[in-house]
Amino acid sequence: MCKLCNLNPARAEAFAERMIVSLNEGSLMLMVSIGHRIGLFDTMSQMEAATSNEIAEATGLQERYVREWLGAMVTGCIVEASRETDSEELRYQLPAEHAAFLTREAGADNIGVFAQYISVLGYVEDDIVRCFQEGGGVSYERYNRFHEVMREDSGLAVVSLLLSDVLPLVPGIQQRLERGIRVMDIGCGSGRALNLMAQHYPESIFVGYDLCADPLETARREAQRRGLTNIHFEQRDLTHYAPEDTFDFITAFDAIHDQARPDHVLRSVYQSLSNDGHFLMVDINASSDVTQNVDHPVGTLLYTISTMHCMTVSLAQDGMGLGAMWGREKARVMLNEASFTRIEEHLLEQDFQNRYFVIQK
């Protein structure tokens, strides 16, 4: 039966219009990413209405590129353009209400940070197409700037809330950290969370493990810059990690779903925890049932990131390919299979994208 022979014209037209909107919005995010990276939004937020020449001069950028970028911003309804007379040069203004979501001053509300994922993931599109056709996955080494963007992302989402909102979710952990305990972070990446804790709790000992060398070097440089002597970063594949030490507090910030064998890692966490230890697992706030994610505010983005990074880097290691959207139901099942039974779940109003699992051995 030919599906195209019995179209509902109104529905077809509505869908076509939606696709055009999506095409424009996707293109706009590329321009937002560029504007964030080179500081155009930050500079414009401090300026009154200005010409493209004035904006280029203030940012130290090339006027011709700035002017074309402004074209995308104006047609994308991010920047406003005006002139008093037909002969007067256009002047551009970034409204304060827009700057509140596009500048570094905006902190966790800065959508410009997340816009970078579009271009970063586009870099491996050919590799992903090959995987669709042949199977397998894309290794971490193929990604350009992903760790850099993740570092900025985690700084907004988790690290900024770590001391004030996240650690208080774990009963008594702040007092124990002050007295001195052993802490391990799984998939520590660039080490922002661990370095912050190490600086704030000098009596405790911190160890960070990650598969990739580049972010670990960033983590070590930051620890050295801060003068930290109570922290150690080590490159390690956790797929078959065998516990060598006991830890009182283990953390995993959006890292479990990336593992080749998250089931093995969770069992190792259980075995590594002291009898009165806690495991803090931060992961994507979603359901394991895709139909329950239809109204998720960034569901499409998260499934895209999962397809083009989280799932495929696991499959590249012959792993499970769990994916970022494994969901709270699957997470609970896997935690139970790893012998964890005392599990609490928390949501933070300031962080809509993550769910906080506080687990006691």
Answer for the pair 288, 104: CB distance below 8 angstroms, yes or no: no
Mean pLDDT of 217-234: 96
Could you tell me the CATH superfamily of domain 123-360? Answer: Vaccinia Virus protein VP39 (3.40.50.150)
Residue 51 has pLDDT above 90, yes or no: yes
Return all residues near 246 (Cβ < 8 A) that are at least 6 apart: 182, 272, 273, 274, 277
pTM of the model: 0.90
Cα separation, 278 vs 331, in Å, equals 17
pLDDT band at 19 (very low <50, low <70, confident <90, very high): very high
Report which of 356, 160, 136 is spatially closest to residue 253, judged by C-alpha positions. Answer: 356
Residue 261 has pLDDT above 90, yes or no: yes
Mean pLDDT of the chain: 94
Cα separation, 38 vs 62, in Å, equals 11
> What tens digit of pLDDT does each residue of 281-306 get?
999 999 999 999 999 999 999 999 99
pLDDT band at 358 (very low <50, low <70, confident <90, very high): very high
pLDDT value of position 245: 87
Answer for the pair 123, 140: CB distance below 8 angstroms, yes or no: no
Answer for the pair 217, 223: CB distance below 8 angstroms, yes or no: no
User: Crossing angle for the helix pair 9-37 and 111-122, nearest 10 degrees?
Assistant: 100
Cα separation, 29 vs 36, in Å, equals 10
pLDDT band at 1 (very low <50, low <70, confident <90, very high): low
CB hemisphere CA count around 86 (13 angstroms):
0
- Give the domain ranges of the chain: 8-105, 123-360
What count of other Cβ atoms lies within 10 Å of the Cβ of residue 87? 6
Give strand pairing partners of 184.
207, 250
> What tens digit of pLDDT does each residue of 117-171 get?
999 999 999 999 999 999 999 999 999 888 889 888 887 778 889 999 999 999 9
Cα separation, 131 vs 177, in Å, equals 44
pLDDT value of position 293: 97
Cα separation, 104 vs 99, in Å, equals 9
Cα separation, 223 vs 194, in Å, equals 9
Answer for the pair 209, 185: CB distance below 8 angstroms, yes or no: yes
The fold adopted by the segment(s) 8-105 is Arc Repressor Mutant, subunit A (1.10.10)
